[in-house]
Structure 1
């Protein structure tokens, strides 16, 4: 049970769910009529190969959570003493062993998958992800905003990697426009995931400011203060709202059900979060905002099902 908590199994389930939604809801939802023929998005992975992609991603992510907790022992002792696992329920040495096991398994699965589908060059993606997670834990998280941006990019990459393996190898002259269009839609989802994650990372830094200060981290609230950091998160939330409204007006205005879904489950909660960020002062308030942002991420990704239903 402690190991499941250590690897943030709930977060891993969310990653798995999003990747499943991409393959089995988003990709089948887009088709195009060309010269009287209806073309559907072509994918290249079998169910087994897709399972390998998911397992590789999840194992590398689990390793990233573990190595981050190992290097956050001092800060976590202050920020969340009741939830600290490394150094209490699990020794630091065992933590390293678990980190190595998950990371090696994830990278090996990525190597096997890349060669299995005849795209050996894709293996580098798994190595880069694993390396960035280690560098983040040991170095980047101590740099102002750099660590937050890297983690947010990796969350977005967990979506993009599905498109890389599924869409790119299946491109032909006949379907290139459709495949590219789907990749652009997937990229838009990745941008959404990036922005929401970046906001949440800043909010979490505000929550953890006391422990991070003792650990000599240079997080945004430590450098510019909690109030200004909250206003920065507020500004990013407003940006997310404006981008979503622009996207709905420009591309989805004909799909009324999709527009209503986004207005109710994504934009309305983001407006509430923006208001709370502008007024929040206490740690519990920021914890609530962090939880709401996770729900917004989930509801945003679940919109892929809506596309499939209304098709």
Structure 2
């Protein structure tokens, strides 16, 4: 996602960028390391749940010891946060290093405590995904902005924020669907997720409302900002709207773990093609000129 935004959007938009290619790759590595650390600590804390919900996919306690997993978590997190400190000084914004610390801390707190609070844990995970887009704007655009290029830079900054909002909404929906998928394991291990707290039907209604909101917001954005870009509209209808509508239709009668897993996969597809749409927009703009 971060590589797509850099090389298929920012690098093609004739704007000034604060990070060299090497430093941008470091930003990607930092993000990946912190996210990987979060994934490891989450797997450590989810051993009992995974043994019930998905025993065939267990890693911690099977392929690697718990101690070994903790070592991986520490190393990955230190590398990610350390690179964040370095990059913050490179752009002369040392306080920006706090973002990397905040993300690493939220991932740990989520894995150990927050995931047991209905909806809050889902919001935190969705927010962390959107931060990985916001961080591009803060590190690659904001430091290179001045009075002369403000208009162009502000537009690029706004586009990244728009995509961050899109990623947040889609991933929030997906996190709730994953809770529906893992409901049996969560219930048996005492994790109080949203479906357990309010029931499957009410959770599905909430997911349906969020899906409709996503479709309406996306339609409004296309109408107000991209309506003249024909290929972008066609792309969005086929690869984003289509899967979202399909998701909503399938959600109505979904009841089994397999069906919820399928719905989660559909949202991955929506997110993937949604991110790639930035390249379609850039190409469509160039073609229109």
Q: What is the TM-score with the length of structure 2 in the denominator?
A: 0.96
Secondary structure of the equivalent of 1:122? Answer: helix
Q: 2:169 aligns with which of 187, 191, 195?
A: 195
SS class of match (2:55): coil
Corresponding residue number in structure 1 for 2:10: 27
Equivalences, count: 285
Q: Please list the CA deviations of residues 242-301 of structure 1 after superposition, one character each: whole Å capped at 9, or x if unmatched.
A: 111111111111111111110110001100000111111111111111111101100001
Task: Find the residue that maps to 1:167 and give its secondary structure.
Answer: helix
Aligned with 2:235 (options 249, 254, 261): 261
**1:29 Cα offset (Å):** 4.5
Give the conservation status (yes or no) of the 8 Å contact 2:17–2:140: yes
Distance 1:101 1:215 in 2: 29
Deviations 1:55-88 (A, max 9, x none): 0000000000000011111111111011111111
Shift of 1:228: 1.7
Q: Which whole-Å CA distance do the structure 2 matches of 1:288 and 1:234 have between them?
A: 16
Work out which of the residue numbers 180, 186, 190 in structure 1 matches 2:154. Answer: 180
Residues 191-216 of structure 1: CA distance to partner in whole angstroms, max 9, x if unpaired? 11001101110110001111111222
Q: Normalised by the size of structure 1, how large is the TM-score?
A: 0.90
Q: Which runs of 4+ in 1 moved over 2 A?
A: none
Secondary structure of the residue aligned to 1:263 is helix
Task: Deviation per CA, 1:5-31: give whole Å up to 9, x if none.
Answer: xxxxxxxxxxxxx1011111122454x
Matched, 1:240 2:214: yes
Residue 267 (structure 2) pairs with residue 305 (structure 1) = no
Residues 80-139 of structure 1: CA deviation (Å, up to 9, x unaligned) = 011111111111111101100100111111111211232211111110110000000011
| Structure 1 residue aligned with 2:52 | 78
List runs of 5+ in structure 2 lacking aligned partners.
none
Rounded Cα–Cα distance in structure 1 between residues aligned with 2:167 and 2:173 = 10
